[in-house]
Amino acid sequence: MSENEITRDLRIAWHEAAHLTVGRTLGATYGGATIEENHDLGFSGLCWGPAFESRFAGEVSSVIEQIDELMPCDGDPRDDTAEIYQHVFTRVVELTAGSEAEKLHFGEAWEASDDRKQERQLAQLIFSTSQSADAFIAACALEARAILHRHADVIEALAAALVEHRTLDGAQIDDIISSTVVARQLAQERERRRIWQKIEASASNFKVEQHRA
């Protein structure tokens, strides 16, 4: 494998791992993910849902149009569409995550035209101007970054597994996330105990010094 191919695989792995990390953080479920390129279907990497439906390749425009017909007009109550608003927020955060991870890890992101198209379609469901949609997408990207920072160990573990295995199923994805989180918690607990032992030792030394005085 050439150096260019290794770099390509690593970048795509980080992109897809970011979708998985942020998606699972926000409660999404996955059937799998791959970094195997498919020219016929037009993707270089892919995440899909538990029913083998793509989560990120080609949101069907007709579905967006059907949802758009349900959105309230000026003066209409919003209660019945609250779930749609929540769905849009969650999905756009997921969609921005791939490119945000590339920026964080590589300094810049490759073009992800399908992600950008879906972000725009979804944002336009709940915003009436391009400026407000842009601001919303930017806010979602910041939220994705925050999640990626909190779970940097998870995205790194998922990216490494994708590079090694190239395709992961849903069970493997969840196992990698779970084991990484458990390892983090154990490390945090060890660090807490180390700090507490240091505090106890300092307190003990202080008592000895006080007694001698």
Confirm if 37 and 11 have CB atoms less than 8 A apart.
no
88-129: pLDDT as tens digits? 999 999 999 999 999 999 999 998 988 999 999 999 988 989
- Domains of the chain: which residue ranges? 3-171
Task: Give the pLDDT score at 97.
Answer: 97
- Residue 159 tokens, joined: 């990216």
> 3-171: which CATH number, 2.40.110.10, 3.20.20.120, 1.10.10.10, 1.20.58.760?
1.20.58.760
What b/e readout covers 118-141, taking b as 16+ CB neighbours within 10 angstroms?
Answer: bbebbbbbbbeeeeebeebbeebb
- Global pTM value: 0.79
Contacts of 117 (CB under 8 A, 6+ apart): 59
Confirm if 173 and 33 have CB atoms less than 8 A apart.
yes
* φ, ψ dihedrals at 98, nearest 5°: -60, -50
